[in-house]
Amino acid sequence: MPAPSAGEVELDACLVRRVMGRKTWGSGELLTALSQAADFKRLTQPRRDRLQKLLQQAARRGLVDKQGRGTEQQLRLSFHRFNELDREAFDQLLLGSMRKNQMLERDTVYRKLLDQSGFPRSSTAKRAAFDKHLRSAMRRKLVQRVGQDIQRV
């Protein structure tokens, strides 16, 4: 996604999480709310396409649940707290953040998962949930520890 121009906020998972909250949204009203939060004066077709791509990425990462199709589509956040992540959602985020055989520092993996799930800050509860799920992923051989690094298998 291109960098934001002057006066536009960055379109990312944090924006989606901030706008959506605990509400269930229709796709049209969510695009309008996201464009207002991004300080778009008008929702042009290129901007609409960027927002739709952002929502598709959020759904692929497991951040957003989609129900229905087309104009009847309903969207809501899959989880509201990082420590509410279930094993499948964590695995999806983890595997989506690393390429096969890629090695990253443990802290880098943690930071990437927070960023991808729309949480701008770290906390001890988030770190504990990350550690718990990472140990589970290691036991199931999705990733392995190599020194201080994590490698996707």
Amino acid 73: pLDDT: 86
Amino acid 10: pLDDT: 63
| Closest C-alpha to 15, from 49, 64, 74 | 64
CA distances from 124 to 63, 91, 102, 131 (A): 21, 20, 26, 10
Residue 38 CB coordination number (10 Å): 20
Classify domain 82-152 at the CATH topology level.
Arc Repressor Mutant, subunit A (1.10.10)
Q: pTM score > 0.85 for this model?
A: no
Amino acid 5: pLDDT: 45
Examine the pLDDT at 69 and tell me if it is beyond 70: yes
Examine the pLDDT at 134 and tell me if it is beyond 70: yes
Q: What residues contact residue 22 under an 8 Å CB cut-off, 6+ apart?
A: 77, 80
| Closest C-alpha to 90, from 48, 54, 126 | 126
Asked if CATH classification 3.30.70 holds for the domain at 13-77, the reply, yes or no, is no
CATH 1.10.10 in the chain: give the residue spans.
13-77, 82-152
> Which tokens belong to 88?
């499948």
Q: In this predicted model, which residue has the larger pLDDT, 9 or 69?
A: 69
Question: pLDDT of 82-128, one tens digit each?
Answer: 988 889 989 988 998 899 999 999 999 999 999 888 888 899 999 99
Q: In this predicted model, which residue has the larger pLDDT, 106 or 11?
A: 106
The fraction of the chain above a pLDDT of 70, given in percent, is 93
